[in-house]
C-alpha cells in the first residue's frame, strides 16, 4: 500500500479577518497543528479570498519560494525589487525571496473579491539573489491533460524555482483518466482539488480536498465529474 495522507477541505485551518478569508492546509500564523507542518518541502498552501479594495501591506520574506496562482479577480503586486504588476486568473507568479524582500498584495477591484492560492516551497539553496517572474498560461493546454506551470528548469514550461519540484494544472472532463509518473525518485506528490470530484488510485477526493502520496512511481488520476486540480511534486526531505 502506498504511503499517503488525506486532508479533507473541512479539516483545514481557517482565519477570517473580515477583509481576508483564508483556509490553511498546513500550519500558518495562528493555526498550528504539529501533524500538519508541511508535506516535504511544501510548507504553505493557503486558499485566500480578499475583499474589494483590500490587501496585504508591505511585509518581509526570506529564503522561501513563493508561488501565487490567482483563481478569480485581479491582484496588484508591488515589491522592494521595483516590480509593480497585476496578476489575474490564468497567471502564475513566482518570487524567490532569498536574502530578503518586501512585498504587498492588494485586490485591485472595487467591485469583486480576489481568490488566489499562495504556496510556499522551502528552497534547496539559501540566500539566493531575490527574483520575481510571472507568466500567463493558456488554459486550453490543461484541458484533459496536465499543464506544467512550475519546474526547476528555467528553459522548461512554466516558471522555475530553486527546488526539484514540478507543478501541473489539470482541467478534466468527467471520465478522463491520466497517469502521473514521478519525475525524481524520493519526491512525493500533493494533489489539491480546485473544483469537482476526482479519484487518485482508490482515494476519492472532492472540492478543496488535499491528498499527499510518497514512495511511489506512478498514480492514476480519474475525474469523477468535471474537475480542476493542482499537482505539486516536491522533495520529501528538507535539505
Q: Where do we find the cell 488520476? A: 221
Q: What is the pLDDT along the chain (239 residues), one digit of tens a residue?
A: 469 999 999 999 999 988 889 999 999 988 999 999 999 999 999 999 999 888 777 788 889 999 999 999 888 888 788 888 888 899 999 989 889 888 888 788 888 899 999 999 999 999 999 998 999 999 899 999 999 999 999 899 899 999 999 999 999 999 999 999 999 999 999 999 999 999 999 999 999 999 999 999 999 999 999 999 999 999 999 87
Q: Which three cell numbers stand for residue 43?
A: 510548507
Contact between 95 and 123 (Cβ < 8 Å): no
Residue span of the structural domain in which 57 resides: 3-235
CATH number of residue 116's parent domain: 2.60.120.10
- Separation CA 48–CA 71 (nearest Å): 10
- Separation CA 48–CA 19 (nearest Å): 10
Q: What total of structural domains would you count in the chain?
A: 1
- Separation CA 140–CA 156 (nearest Å): 18
* Side-chain-facing half-sphere of 163: CA atoms under 13 Å: 33
Q: Which three cell numbers stand for residue 157?
A: 514550461
The pLDDT value given to residue 1: 46
Q: Which residues are 91's β-sheet partners? A: 136
- Separation CA 233–CA 40 (nearest Å): 10
Contact between 228 and 169 (Cβ < 8 Å): yes
The pLDDT value given to residue 81: 83
- Separation CA 158–CA 202 (nearest Å): 30
138 CB-near residues (< 8 Å, 6+ apart): none
Backbone φ, ψ for residue 228 (5° rounding): -125, 140
Q: What is the DSSP letter of 143?
A: B
Amino acid at each position: 500500500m502506498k504511503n499517503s495522507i488525506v486532508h479533507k477541505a473541512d479539516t483545514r485551518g481557517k482565519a477570517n479577518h473580515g477583509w481576508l478569508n483564508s483556509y490553511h492546509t498546513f500550519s500558518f500564523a495562528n493555526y498550528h497543528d504539529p501533524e500538519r507542518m508541511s508535506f516535504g518541502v511544501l510548507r504553505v498552501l493557503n486558499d485566500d479570498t480578499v475583499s474589494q479594495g483590500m490587501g496585504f501591506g508591505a511585509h518581509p520574506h526570506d529564503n522561501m519560494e513563493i508561488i501565487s496562482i490567482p483563481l478569480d479577480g485581479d491582484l496588484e503586486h508591488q515589491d522592494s525589487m521595483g516590480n509593480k504588476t497585476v496578476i489575474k486568473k490564468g497567471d502564475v507568479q513566482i518570487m524567490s525571496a532569498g536574502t530578503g524582500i518586501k512585498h504587498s498584495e492588494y485586490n485591485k477591484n472595487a467591485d469583486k473579491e480576489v481568490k488566489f492560492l499562495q504556496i510556499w516551497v522551502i528552497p534547496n539553496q539559501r540566500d539566493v539573489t531575490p527574483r520575481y517572474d510571472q507568466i500567463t498560461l493558456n488554459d486550453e493546454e490543461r484541458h484533459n491533460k496536465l499543464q506544467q506551470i512550475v519546474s526547476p528548469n528555467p528553459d522548461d514550461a512554466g516558471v522555475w524555482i530553486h527546488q526539484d519540484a514540478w507543478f501541473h494544472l489539470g482541467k478534466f472532463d468527467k471520465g478522463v483518466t491520466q497517469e502521473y509518473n514521478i519525475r525524481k525518485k524520493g519526491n512525493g506528490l500533493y494533489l489539491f482539488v480546485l473544483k469537482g470530484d476526482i479519484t487518485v488510485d482508490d482515494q476519492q477526493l472532492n472540492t478543496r480536498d488535499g491528498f499527499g502520496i510518497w514512495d511511489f512511481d506512478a498514480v492514476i488520476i480519474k475525474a469523477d465529474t468535471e474537475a480542476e486540480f493542482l499537482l505539486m511534486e516536491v522533495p520529501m526531505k528538507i535539505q
